[in-house]
Amino acid sequence: MGVVLHAKDLNKRFGAVTAAAGVNAAIEQDSVVGLIGTNGAGKTTFINMITGYIKPDTGSIEFRGRDITALAPREVTRIGICRSFQIPQLYSSLTVFENMMVGLGVVLRNAKLGGFFSRGRPYVPGHEAPAEEVAERILQRFGLADYRNKNAQVLPGGVRKLLDIALTMVAKPSILLLDEPTSGVSAEEKFGMMDMVMTAVKAEGATVLFVEHDMEVVSRFAERVLAFYDGRIIADAPPEIALRDPEVKRYVVGGELHRMDEQQGSAHA
């Protein structure tokens, strides 16, 4: 165990909006961390800064001791930190299988000079198998095998989400940042989906950070919770403790807990 990702004192303002104020977090290897907070609290900004999409005004981010604050998203991906998106970012004109192949192709290219001089089917570094096999394997793990030849455009919402997450596995990340993996998925399906995702991801031995609004999902899957409010981390603890923290209850959970109480009180099946 060791600290694999360290955000040090990140600050970011967009005009009058404070997206990050003194954000400090040390993420341990193999841990599963839930990021919670209301919209605009700074969770996605946090992920954007880690992946290099935006640069913090002050502060730094270290990955295995190396400063990655200034890297561009593609470089961050190459060193092993991958993210999924709130709104799935897919290649809508390609099939599910082709989506995976593009990603694997990029990994190949980064390693072997574009494959221009290679013969036959080169092995994808990190996966040690030809690209087609790796694609099948990942699709299987995410339950997407049946959608293999369907155009990404026609996929139902939950499946699009799954594909978006599956695509992040292509570059064999050691750290996975999932931005609202279960949003848009019905309440009954959330747990099943997270189960599948977590199993698939953990099989590759990745450290996971996920943004989530459903507190039940958070308490079930996260070992540790970072609660955001107004750009600050107001709680950093295991879910049982964090979700009971008065500040967290007030600024983050408040509304949801209320609803959860109501549901338990009513005669809903």
Partner 1 sequence: MDQILTVIVDGIIYSSWLFVAAIGLTLIYGVMKIVNLTHGSFYALGAYAGASFTGAWLARGYPPMLSYAVLLASALIVALVVAPLIERGILRFMYAKDEVVIMLITYALFLILEDVIKLVWGVDPYFIAEPYGLLGSFEVGEMTYPTYNLILVGIAIVSGGGLTLLLRGTRFGKLLRTVIHDPEVSRAMGINVDRFYLVTFTFGSLLAAIGGAFTAPTVSVVPGLGVEIIVLSFAVIVIGGMGSLPGAALGAVIVGLVRSAAIHYAPAVELFVIYFVMALVLAFRPRGLFSLAEPRKI
Partner 2 sequence: MNSNRTLLILGVVLLAVIGAGPLLPQWAMFLLTIAIAKGLVAQGLMLQLRAGLVSFGQALYYCIGAYTAGILGRFFGISDMLLEMICGAAVAAFIAFILGFLLARYRGIFYGLLSLALSMILYGLLVKSEALGSTDGINILPSTVFGIRPGQESVRHVVLVAGCAIAFIATLLVQRYLNTPLGQLAAAIKDNEIRVEYMGASVREAIHIKYVVAAALSGIGGALAATTVGHIDPDMAYWTTSGEFIFITILAGTRSVVAPFLGAAIFGIIHTVAYDVSPNTWQMTLGTALLLVILFLPEGLWSLFNRRKAA
List residues binding partner 1 (CB under 8 A): 53, 72-73
The listed partner (partner 1, partner 2, none) that binds 105, CB under 5 to 8 Å by sort, is partner 2
Q: What is the Cα–Cα distance from 162 to 200, expressed in whole angstroms?
A: 11
- Are β-strands 3-14 and 17-28 bridged in parallel, bridged antiparallel, or unpaired? antiparallel
Query: Binding partner of residue 115 among partner 1, partner 2, none, CB under 5 to 8 Å per kind?
Result: partner 2
105 binding partner 2? (CB under 8 A): yes
CB of 172 to partner 2, least distance (A): 11
| CA 189 to chain CA centroid, nearest Å | 18
Closest to partner 1 by CB, 51 vs 174, is 51
Q: What are phi and psi of 266, to 5 degrees?
A: -80, 170
The Cα 95–Cα 1 span in angstroms is 39
Tell me, by CB under 8 A, how many residues bind partner 2: 31
Angle 65-68-72 (CA atoms, 0-180°, nearest 5)? 160
Residue 77 or 207 having the CB closest to partner 1 = 77
Tell me how far, at minimum, the Cβ of 267 lies from partner 1, in Å.
41
CB of 95 to partner 2, least distance (A): 11
Is residue 6 within 8 A of residue 62, CB to CB? The reply is yes
Q: State the Cα–Cα distance between residues 221 and 215, nearest whole angstrom.
A: 10
Could you give the CA distance from residue 34 to residue 53 in angstroms, rounded to a whole number? 21
Q: Is 83 in the site for partner 2 (CB under 8 A)?
A: yes
H/E stretch holding 11: strand 3-14
Question: Toward partner 1, which CB reaches closer, 52 or 239?
Answer: 52
**Cα–Cα distance for residue pair 255/214, rounded to 1 Å:** 11
Which residue type occupies 196?
A: M
The distance of closest approach from Cβ of residue 185 to partner 2 in the complex, given in angstroms and rounded to an integer, is 20
Q: Is residue 126 near partner 2 by the rule CB under 8 A?
A: no
Tell me which of partner 2, partner 1, none is bound by residue 51, counting a contact when its beta carbon lies within the kind-specific cut-off of 5 to 8 angstroms.
partner 2
Nearer to partner 2, 114 or 254 (CB): 114
Q: What residue ranges bind partner 2 (CB under 8 A)? A: 51, 72-75, 77-78, 82-83, 89-94, 101-110, 114-116, 167, 170-171
